Every structure is written in structure tokens, then in C-alpha cells.
């Protein structure tokens, strides 16, 4: 028996018992994700994330990695509990859909719609085609369609587009492909207001991050190398004040001090 994993699982179960749950609908998304092996934020990480949101009280959130919409809905409920947003009666969600089979993010005729929805409280990005219909459905049924801007696109292209339109965020939740964190970092910094936060999940990668490159399976070495690059970059960039916290699968919390630091 792997006792470390056993006790970590028991601690996780204990924390789960103590935790305030989300709405019944949001919890149903979580259950579906866990039953279907869709990655979902660990409960202890979620609690920490919510506390940071309560401290920061962000007006604009960007999420990189929607999956099936659990975290977006959970963060919307958190903002609602603080009185920052309200549910909308309109059941229609304006979606900025990428034409997935083409190598583009946005066509000209969508420009005005993009500028409109980019003002919403939460923007979330997902490119995995199989998960997009589930995310659309969950966002619509949550009642927060009027507050969540769902961009179906490659994150790198979407981040560049957001920058070109001068959109700024108070909080960025990075929860997509770990190997891409380092590629998204500079673009994410460009999208932050001064004092804004990047909350990057899964940065310790079940402890694999501390292993020698040669102890890591060959197929995993790219992720291992790029995650280490990301952690080095955020802890050595004078524009950021970063902490690496061993909660869940590891969180890197970075506060942006401004471009002139």
C-alpha cells in the first residue's frame, strides 16, 4: 500500500466533509466529471481558490481550461455570493465559437459580438471539441449565461485576441494543459490589471515535478521540463510576487506588481 496516497486521500475526504458545497446543480457537474474521468479541481484547491476570490473580490476573471464548465459555474456562484453578479433570466448564452476545423480564432462578422461579451465578469476558454457541448449546456443551465463569456478556441490565439482588444482581468485561473503554462505566462501577464492574480493549478504534478528529468518517463519529460520552466519564471520575474503552495496538486499564486517594477 502507498501510505502517502492513502492518507492524502483520507485527508481529502475529511476536508470534503467539512466543506460548504456549491449549489446542487454545480455539484451535479462535479459528480459527472468525476464519474466520467474529466479533470476537475480538487476540493481542497477549490476551497483555497474561493478564499482568494473572497479576498480579491475580482470584477473580471479569466479561466484557461473550461473542460465541462464546473469551475466557471463554481466561480460564478462565488461572485454571486459576494453580490458582484446576479443570475440572468436570459437562457441564451452568446458564444464566441471558433471554427474548429480552420486555423483562425475569429471572423470579422463576430467582432462586435466579441467586444460586447468581453465585458462579462467571467471569460473561459476551451478548445477540446468533445467537451464543448457539455460546457455550453452547463453554462446555459446554470443561469449564469449572461455573466460567462465562453470562448471555444486555442488558448494562445484567444489570449492574443483579448490583448488586442485591450481586455484586462483581475484574476486568471490557469487550469489547462500544464505543458502550455510557460507559453501562456507572458500573454497572461499582459492581460492583468496591476494587483491582479494568476492562480495556476496542478503545478506540482503529483510530486513528479521534484524528480530528476531522467527519472521521469520519456513521454512526460516535456511536461516536466515546461512546468519547471514556468515555476522558475514566476519566481524570478520582478513583476510578480509568487508563492508555490502544496495544496491539492500544487498551486502557484502570482501577484502582478505592474510593468514598471
Give residue for cell 505566462: 185
Confidence of residue 91 (pLDDT cuts 50, 70, 90): very low
What would the pLDDT profile of 108-143 be if each residue is shown by its tens digit?
A: 444 444 555 456 799 999 999 999 999 999 999 999
As a three-state string, the secondary structure of the chain is CCHHHHHHHHHHHHHHHHCCCCCHHHHHHHHHHHHCCCCCCCHHHHHHHHHHHHHHCCCCEEEECCCCCHHHHHHHHHHHHCCCCCCCCCCCCCEEECCCCCCCCCCHHHHHHHHHHCCCCEEEEECCCCCHHHHHHHHHHHCCCCCEEEEECCHHHHHHHHHHCCCCEEEEEECCCHHHHHHHHHHHHHCEEEEEEEEEECCCHHHHHHCCHHHCCHHHHHHHHHHHHHHHHHHHCCCEEEEEECCCCCEEEEEECCCCC
Confidence of residue 261 (pLDDT cuts 50, 70, 90): low
Q: What mean pLDDT do residues 78-93 have?
A: 74
Residue 221 backbone dihedrals phi, psi, to 5 degrees:
-70, -30
Exposure on the CB side of residue 85, measured as CA atoms within 13 A: 26
Q: What mean pLDDT do residues 37-59 have?
A: 94
Residue 102 backbone dihedrals phi, psi, to 5 degrees:
-115, 155
- Nearest 10 degrees: Cα torsion 28, 34, 39, 44: 80
Q: Check whether 5 has a pLDDT greater than 80.
A: no
pTM of the model: 0.86
Q: What mean pLDDT do residues 196-206 have?
A: 90
Confidence of residue 221 (pLDDT cuts 50, 70, 90): low
Q: Check whether 103 has a pLDDT greater than 80.
A: no
Confidence of residue 155 (pLDDT cuts 50, 70, 90): very high
pLDDT for the residue numbered 220: 60
pLDDT for the residue numbered 64: 97
Confidence of residue 9 (pLDDT cuts 50, 70, 90): confident
Amino acid at each position: 500500500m502507498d501510505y502517502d496516497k492513502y492518507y492524502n486521500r483520507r485527508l481529502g475526504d475529511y476536508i470534503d466533509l467539512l466543506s460548504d458545497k456549491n449549489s446542487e446543480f454545480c455539484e451535479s457537474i462535479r459528480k459527472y466529471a468525476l464519474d466520467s474521468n474529466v479533470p476537475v479541481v480538487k476540493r481542497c484547491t477549490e476551497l483555497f481558490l474561493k478564499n482568494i476570490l473572497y479576498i480579491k473580490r475580482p470584477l473580471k476573471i479569466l479561466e484557461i481550461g473550461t473542460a465541462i464548465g464546473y469551475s466557471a459555474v463554481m466561480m460564478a456562484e462565488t461572485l454571486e455570493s459576494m453580490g458582484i453578479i446576479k443570475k440572468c433570466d436570459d437562457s441564451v448564452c452568446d458564444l464566441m465559437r471558433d471554427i474548429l476545423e480552420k486555423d483562425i480564432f475569429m471572423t470579422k462578422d463576430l467582432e462586435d459580438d466579441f467586444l460586447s461579451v468581453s465585458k462579462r465578469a467571467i471569460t473561459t476558454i476551451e478548445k477540446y471539441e468533445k467537451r464543448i457541448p457539455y460546457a455550453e449546456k452547463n453554462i446555459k443551465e446554470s443561469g449564469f449565461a449572461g455573466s460567462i463569456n465562453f470562448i471555444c478556441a486555442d488558448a494562445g490565439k484567444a489570449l492574443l485576441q483579448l490583448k488586442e482588444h485591450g481586455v484586462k482581468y483581475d484574476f486568471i485561473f490557469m487550469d489547462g494543459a500544464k505543458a502550455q503554462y510557460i507559453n501562456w505566462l507572458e500573454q497572461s501577464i499582459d492581460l492583468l490589471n496591476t494587483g491582479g492574480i494568476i492562480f495556476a493549478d496542478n503545478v506540482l504534478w503529483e510530486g513528479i515535478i521534484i524528480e530528476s528529468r531522467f527519472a521521469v518517463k520519456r513521454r512526460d519529460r516535456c511536461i516536466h521540463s515546461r512546468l519547471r520552466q514556468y515555476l522558475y519564471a514566476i519566481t524570478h520575474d520582478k513583476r510578480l510576487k509568487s508563492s508555490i503552495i502544496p495544496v491539492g496538486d500544487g498551486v502557484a499564486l502570482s501577484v502582478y506588481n505592474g510593468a514598471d517594477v
